[in-house]
Structure formats: C-alpha cells, structure tokens
Amino acid sequence: MTLLSNKRLSSIAELDAQRKELLSSRAPSTKSVYVCTGPGCAAKGSPKLYELFREAVSQANVDVEIRAKAVGCHGLCEYGPIVIIEPGDIFYQRVEEPDVAEIFRETVLGGRLVDRLLYEHPATGEKLDTVDKIPFYQVQQRVALAYNGLIDPTEITDYITEGGYSALAKVLSSMTAEEVVSEVEAAGLRGRGGGGFPTARKWRSCREAEGSPKYVICNGDEGDPGAFMDRAIMEGNPHSVIEGMLIGAYAIGSSDGYIYVRNEYPLSVERLKLAIEQAKELGLIGENILGSSFSFDIRINRGGGAFVCGESTALMASLEGRPGEPRAKYVHTVESGLWEKPTNLNNVETWTNVPAIINRGGEWFAGIGTEKSKGTKVFSLVGKVVNTGLVEVPMGITLRQIIDEIGGGIPDGKRFKAVQTGGPSGGCIPAEHLDARVDFDELTKLGSMMGSGGMIVMDEDTCMVRVAKYFTDFLQKESCGKCTPCREGLAQMLYILDRITDGEGQVGDVERLEGLAELMEGTALCALGKTAANPVISTIRYFRDEYDAHIKEKHCPAKECRGLFRYEIDADACKSCGICLQNCPAEAITGEKKVPYVIDQEKCTLCGTCWEKCPFAAVLKV
Amino acid sequence: MAQDDKIIEQIVDRYDADVGMLIPMMQDLQAECGYLPLEQLHSLAKQLSLPLSRLYAVATFYASFHLAPKGAHEVTLCVGTVCYLKGAPKISEAISREFHVETGGTTRDRLFTFQAVNCVGACAVAPVMIVDGKYYNGVTPASALEVLYGLGKNETSVEKDGET
Ligand SMILES: Cc1cc2nc3c(=O)[nH]c(=O)nc-3n(C[C@H](O)[C@H](O)[C@H](O)COP(=O)(O)O)c2cc1C
Ligand code: FES
C-alpha cells in the first residue's frame, strides 16, 4: 500500500501530487478492517487480533482489495477490543481471537453481520450495528481525535491521504507568521495542558522576545493519573502533533523542537520517533521544508518518572539534564526558558488542534464551544462509570451529559457521588453541580479545574476524605522539595488526613487543613504547591459532613475506612451456609444450621473476609 | 573493565557529549545494564567533565533510575487514581505480603522488582499491572498473584541472570 518512494518532497505541488496518487490508488470497492490498538484495547490483547486479521487477508483468495489496519484509540475502551469494518461502519465489540475467522468470513467477505458481537443498547437491548447509532458516540464531536481510529499511526501515507500536512503546506505557501498567529487567535484556542492560557498570546510573546535560537516544545508528560488523552493522540495520530509543532515553529520563528514524553509511555516514544523519521525522509522535517526557507528539527526526550516535570520550568530543567525543579516565574519562559532562550511550550492536544484550525479557519473553531472556551476537549472518562473511555466533546456540554449520556451512568445500580477533574491539582464536583457546563472558567468557579482532561467518576462507596488523602499523599511524594510550604505543608496535611481516616481526628482538624491550604496557596514556589490543597479544599467544601462524621462520630459514611464501620450479618439474608465462619481468621463468627450467623464484635478484626466471601451478600457494612 | 568503558563511550558519542542530554545518556546506560552501576557513573561523569554529585542528583530525583540491580522480571503495578479507586491498594498489599517485597524493592531471590507507578494510561481497563512489558487489565489480588507465581516456574536458575 505504501506508494511513496521515500522521495523527498521538494515542493507543495509534489505533496499534493503525492496525495492525489494515494487517493486514486485506493479502489472504491476496498474493504477495510480497523483493529483498535489504543491503550485499553491493546491491554486486552488487540495486537494479536490485528495479526490474525492480517493473516486472514493474506490468505483470502478474492479479487477485491482488503486491508487490515491497526489504528489508535477508538474511545469506547470498556467494550474493547473494538474492530470496525468498512464499508458499513460496522462496530464489533469485545472481539476475541476465535471471533476473527467468523468476522472475516461473514462480514468482510459475506457482508453479513455477526449479531453476537454487536453493541447492545443498554436501555432497550437493541443490537446496534454502526458507530453512529451508539449513544456513546452520538454526543461527541471530534476534532483532535478526528483521525484516531482511521489511520495507521505508523504510516505517514495514511495521514497524508486524509489531508495531513496540507495545513503546513498552506502556511508555507500563503501565510505570514503573523497571519498564522492571528488565525489561532481568531480560533480562541486555549492551552489544553491545564492552565488554559491563550495559545496565540503565548506564541506572539515568544515571537517578539529577544534572543535566538528560539525553542518550541511539546509537553507530552501527561502526569495526571487517570488521564490518557495525550497518550492516545501521540500513539494514534503522532503526525498531527508534529504538524502542529511545525506550524507553531513557523509562526514563532523557531527551528528547534523538543517533545518531552512521560517515561511510562514507551509506545508513544516509539510512534513519535517513527513518525519523525518518516517525516524527515519526505522532507517535512529538516532543512528547507517543502522547498521553502523554513527549517525545523524535532528531538524526543523521555521523562524520568517525576510528576513535577510536567510543569513548564521543571520540564525545561529536565531537558537541560538537571533534576526537574521548577523556578519562580517572574521571568516568563517565552522570554527565558530552555537554555535561557525564548521558549514556547504547549500541550499535545493543543498542538493537535492547530492543523485543523489552519485548514478550516479560526472562525470555524470559534464556532464550537462557549464564549471564553472554544473548540472541543478530550476527556478520559474513567472510574465508576459504565462506558469508560476516551471522549471528545464540544466545550460547554454539561457534566451530566458526559457522565450519563456518553458514560452511561454509574454501574451496579450505585449512586453517583462526585466527579474529579483536573488531576491532583483539581477538585471533586458533587451531584448538585452536574448541570454545570464544562469550560475553563466554570470548572474553576466550582473549585476544580479543567486540567488536562482526566474525569474520574466516583460512586457512593467512595470515601471523600480518602480521596483527598490519596491526592495529598501523591503530591507529597511528588513534591520536589525545593520550597518549604509545599514540602512541609503537604506532609502536615497528610499527617492530619491520616489521623482523620484512622479515627483519631480532632475537632479543629478541618480548620487546620484550611489554614495550611491558604498558606500553601499564597507562598509555594510553583503551581504544584499553590494548587496542592485543591483536592482537600474542594472535598471540605462539598463533603464537610463526611469529615465531621469521621472526626466526631468516628464513622466513615462510605464505609471504606477500616475501623470506622462494623460488619454485621443480615439475619433475613443469611442462609446459614457457614462459608463466613469457615473463612473468618479471627474465629469471630458463630452459628449453626438454619439459624442466622452472628459476628462477635469484640473478636472481629474488621478484615472484611466474610464480606468478600458471602455468596448471598448477607454480610453488611454498617 | 575495558568493555565497560566502551559502553560509556558509545553512549556519550551517541549524544555528541552534549551535557543537556545527560538524562537520555543515563537512561541508555540503565537500559544497557539494568541499573546504574557506580563505576559507570564515575566514568560517565569523567567523560562529560561533570562532578559525580550532579549525576547522583539526577539519579535520585527521577523515580525511574535505579542504583541497585533489579530482579529478573519487572513487575509494575499502577496505583494511579483510577486503579487506586478500583482496588490497587489491595493488590499491592497482597503482592507485598506474599513475596515479602515493598514497592520499589526486589524480592530476595531476585525474581522480580516490584514498582508502583502513577498511571500507565490504560485507566479505562483499571486496575492495571505490567509484567515485563505485558499489560494485564482488570487485575484482582488473586489474579495478580497467579501471574507472579507463574514467573517462578519455568525458570531454572533465577539468581544467575540479573538482566530483564
Ligand atoms: C505540577 C504541574 C504538572 C503539570 N503537568 C502537565 C502535564 O503533564 N502535561 C501538560 O501538558 N501540562 C502540564 N502542566 C501545565 C504546564 O505547566 C503548561 O502550563 C502547559 O504544558 C502549557 O501548555 P498549554 O498552554 O498548551 O496548555 C503541569 C503544571 C504543573 C504545575
Ligand atoms: S490510573 Fe492506572 S492506568 Fe491510569
């Protein structure tokens, strides 16, 4: 399928010709099998499915062209591995190795559906055969993820066929640097890495800053746990990130780029490396790109497993080969960043949006979203929600739409309790604010933030004090230790939270936490410390009663904190089977046939074994 | 010894002795040796004309660097938010209890090094454990232990090779 003779493209006309050739070489009757090999599906073994489909294709003795493609994340990870068949946009879910032969025979060759593998509408039970009928996809709007799931990320030709690098061509042939910045400004694009800083303003400052060389960096550190949007983009459509960087570099006047990728993402590094190599071969990266006077090179650096390195100044320290400690930002990095030169840093998703904006115009982009938050945002919707996965929605959609309509609500008939956004610097938003609109300013008003796009749903079984403790513990371990408020403040907060969840909380602890929070916000060196108390403050704000129950009544309402609830046997549900008695390591359970068993609270060590083992759910937490 | 020096030379050459690429160099060294042996750090420091303390600062700041040899297998448990909510702490406890190993440590018989990381980007199928690069999704304490017990088998002498 690869037509390119690895020939350097020395002009825009050659790029266009190449694309035309690629398009015309694909017969209209071509059948395609798209196997999702995104993070979720891959963890469930989809690469093997892809191999099997390829084998099937090579052995099929038919005169139509069939191609099997390994593509990036398709979104509905919960139902993975996902396989899509074209023509027809047929969506198969939870595909396993033995299903491959049947799909190939029935659907690819025979044009018939394999009913068993179709997605079932959760409410009506109706089998839905195509992607656009599935509620999960209906509310979504894809810009950043537009080609994820359609192109093979290891083939630059796929990207080019879909119009890739045409935005770069447009910029090089017909736009001045200032025009590019103005277009991005008209789009109203704001940074997707957390802060929501206007991208065009950053570019312009960097362009106007004194000094050379200038550096352009892509932040692929994706440190927020629970977030994998950037991973899905880097692995599913790496060329869109590269094209975005090329356009940004052109606008800023830079010829040196870096991509900083999180250490835990080896596949992202591999995909980006390959993409850069392929782009270099075609002359899309390097000297005199497409015959213009613009030159640009990109290097990839891997992180070392430190959360703080996602912060701009720490990231630059890391790129200089030093420990990733942030510095105070009274001098902006656009003036003095990497090696004390003007440096422009943007997030992966921010870069990915750039080619689309250039191709379709800033006005089009600005037509999506709310007044101050334009475009779409990718979220990783995870936790206690039915349809976990990757979603892209227009800004301004409500949290409820994301969680209920796209996410399908909470599993196991449980009640929704909170949704955590913004990563460790974010906050928890309770049910009463589910109708809030998702945009930068709205989420900040609620005491959380947009962050990079992690959206973690929690149900009634989640103890909010523990959630606060989890994030405090996380940040305490990740604090670089350079400034005292963050290093010591977090340790003190953790100490207090520990004692609250151990049942040793003291009246006044909540106020102590609030005092520390205020102190850290006002005095910490970098944004990590300044926002570190957000999880604690937002849970106090919305779930103060849970803190009070722990402290005053020594009771954990979610029944998660050991020692702050009891186990009891429900006499009505108990079938006297004796399984709990056999498994109790403390010999705390007594009972005999036909009589409900009882737990001796004096002897019970609260290990929870009986609760796990009871086949009739007769052991209760009270 | 001579061969050891050669490794460092190759790595330094790969990055044109650019001090800014110190972290990638150390990552390559670790990929080569499985950890960062002190002797090699010495010669790397010398080649780059940096004080050893500078390398040590980097090695101890970043969680992914190891100053001691690792086990034959690499077991990584995600304890990111989603995995945490879906039961990762119980899995971690079970592994620590069964194999007498703390997170960050290596089992006595060098069978595996047990690491906890904050999110591997497969949150949709949490909890996630990675063993020698293979992902396991929807892990439970029981299924995790089963995988790890499997490591001990089919292996005649585990102590011998320290490489992963
Ligand atoms: C502690 C901390 C961690 C951060 N981690 C990330 C990250 O992992 N990825 C990211 O893109 N931005 C991260 N940021 C935000 C960056 O500092 C920076 O604002 C962003 O990458 C700029 O790109 P944008 O304008 O395109 O959003 C982090 C900030 C802080 C304070
Ligand atoms: S939290 Fe475990 S994979 Fe993301």
Residue B90 lies in a domain: yes
The domain A567-621: what is its CATH number? 3.30.70.20
Quick: pLDDT tens for A54-91: 999 999 888 889 999 999 999 999 999 999 999 999 99
Cβ–Cβ below 8 Å for A323 and B121: no
For chain A, residues classed under CATH 3.30.70.20 are: 567-621
Any A CB within 8 A of B117 CB: yes
Is the pLDDT reported for residue B27 higher than 60? Answer: yes
- Residue closest to A343 by CA, chosen among A200, A215, A246, A254: A215
Cβ–Cβ below 8 Å for B125 and A44: yes
- How many Cβ atoms sit within 10 Å of the Cβ of residue A146? 19
Ligand with smallest separation from the Cα of A524: 1
State the CATH class of domain A376-459.
alpha beta
What is the spatial distance between Cα A400 and Cα A394, in angstroms, rounded to a whole number? Answer: 14
> What distance, in Å, lies between the first and last C-alpha atoms of chain A?
63
Is the pLDDT reported for residue B152 higher than 80? Answer: no
Residue A27: the pLDDT is: 82
Q: Are residues B55 and B28 in the same domain?
A: yes
B contact residues 120-139, partner A, Cβ 8 Å cutoff:
120-126, 128, 133, 135-137
Is the pLDDT reported for residue B159 higher than 50? Answer: no
The set of residues, in sequence order, having a beta carbon less than 8 Å from that of A207 and lying 6+ positions away, is A177, A181, A214, A251, A252, A253
For chain A, residues classed under CATH 1.20.1440.230 are: 464-553
State the average pLDDT over residues B77-98. 94
Cβ–Cβ below 8 Å for B137 and A474: no
Q: What is the CATH number of the domain that holds B127?
A: 3.40.30.10
State the average pLDDT over residues A574-591. 93
Of B24, B80, B135, the CB nearest to A43: B135
Residue A191 near ligand 1, beta carbon < 6 Å:
yes
Residue B154: the pLDDT is: 61
Question: Which H helix or E strand runs over B41?
Answer: helix B38-48
Q: Indicate the residue among B61, B83, B108 that finishes a domain.
A: B61
Residue of chain B whose alpha carbon sits nearest to that of A385: B124
Ligand with smallest separation from the Cα of A329: 1
Distance from the alpha carbon of residue A350 to the mean position of ligand 1, in angstroms: 11
Note if the bond before A198 is cis, omega within 30 degrees. Answer: no
Residue A345 near ligand 1, beta carbon < 6 Å:
yes
Cβ–Cβ below 8 Å for B62 and A80: no
Q: Are residues B123 and B78 in the same domain?
A: yes
- The sign of the dihedral angle between the CA atoms of A384, A389, A395, A396 is negative
Residue A446: the pLDDT is: 95
CB A536 within 8 A of CB A513: yes
The pLDDT confidence band at residue A46, using thresholds 50, 70 and 90, is: very high
Residue B68 lies in a domain: no
Q: Which of B54, B78, B86, B125 to mutate to test the interface with A (most CBs of A within 10 A)?
A: B125
Model confidence, pTM: 0.94
For chain A, residues classed under CATH 3.10.20.600 are: 376-459
Report the gap between the CA of A266 and the closest CA in chain B (Å). Answer: 10
Domain formed by A464-553, architecture:
Up-down Bundle (1.20)
Report the gap between the CA of B47 and the closest CA in chain A (Å). Answer: 15
The mean pLDDT of chain A is: 95
State the average pLDDT over residues A325-337. 92
Residues of B in contact with A223 (CB under 8 A): 118
Q: Are residues B54 and B33 in the same domain?
A: yes
The pLDDT confidence band at residue A6, using thresholds 50, 70 and 90, is: low
Residues in chain A, total: 622
Residue B159 lies in a domain: no
Q: Indicate the residue among B35, B61, B87 that finishes a domain.
A: B61
Q: Are residues B20 and B88 in the same domain?
A: no
Q: What is the number of the ligand 2 atom nearest to the C-alpha of B82?
A: 1
Residue A226 near ligand 2, beta carbon < 6 Å:
yes
Q: Are residues B55 and B91 in the same domain?
A: no
Residue of chain A whose alpha carbon sits nearest to that of B55: A322
What is the spatial distance between Cα A303 and Cα A264, in angstroms, rounded to a whole number? Answer: 8
For chain B, helix (H) and strand (E) counts, in that order, are 7, 4
Residue A612: the pLDDT is: 87
Record: fold of A28-131? Glutaredoxin (3.40.30)
Residues of A in contact with B56 (CB under 8 A): none
Q: Are residues B119 and B143 in the same domain?
A: yes
Residue A318 near ligand 1, beta carbon < 6 Å:
no
Residue A527 near ligand 1, beta carbon < 6 Å:
yes
The pLDDT confidence band at residue B3, using thresholds 50, 70 and 90, is: low
The pLDDT confidence band at residue A122, using thresholds 50, 70 and 90, is: confident
Residue B163 lies in a domain: no
Q: Are residues B83 and B143 in the same domain?
A: yes
Interface size A-B, in CB pairs within 8 Å, comes to 132
Q: Are residues B81 and B148 in the same domain?
A: yes
The set of residues, in sequence order, having a beta carbon less than 8 Å from that of B37 and lying 6+ positions away, is none
Find tokens 């303003």 and name the residue.
A201
Residue B19 lies in a domain: yes
State the average pLDDT over residues A474-485. 95
Residue A325 near ligand 1, beta carbon < 6 Å:
no
Quick: pLDDT tens for B40-59: 999 999 999 999 999 999 99
State the average pLDDT over residues A242-270. 96
Residue A29: the pLDDT is: 86
Instruction: Please count the structural domains in chain B.
Output: 2
- What domain range is B108 assigned to? 73-152
Report the gap between the CA of A167 and the closest CA in chain B (Å). Answer: 29
CB A428 within 8 A of CB A458: yes
Give the CATH superfamily of A164-364.
NADH-ubiquinone oxidoreductase 51kDa subunit (3.40.50.11540)
Two tokens, residue A5:
């003779």
Any B CB within 8 A of A388 CB: yes
Q: Are residues B51 and B82 in the same domain?
A: no
Ligand with smallest separation from the Cα of A530: 1
Query: DSSP for A156-200?
Result: HHHHHHTTTTHHHHHHHHH--HHHHHHHHHHHT-B-TTSS--BHH
Any A CB within 8 A of B97 CB: no
The pLDDT confidence band at residue A28, using thresholds 50, 70 and 90, is: confident
Is the pLDDT reported for residue A155 higher than 80? Answer: yes
- Residue closest to B80 by CA, chosen among A450, A233, A537, A228: A228
Report the gap between the CA of B116 and the closest CA in chain A (Å). Answer: 11
What is the spatial distance between Cα A2 and Cα B85, in angstroms, rounded to a whole number? Answer: 45
Distance from the alpha carbon of residue A127 to the mean position of ligand 1, in angstroms: 42
Q: Indicate the residue among B32, B61, B90 that finishes a domain.
A: B61
Residues of B in contact with A480 (CB under 8 A): 61
Any A CB within 8 A of B19 CB: yes
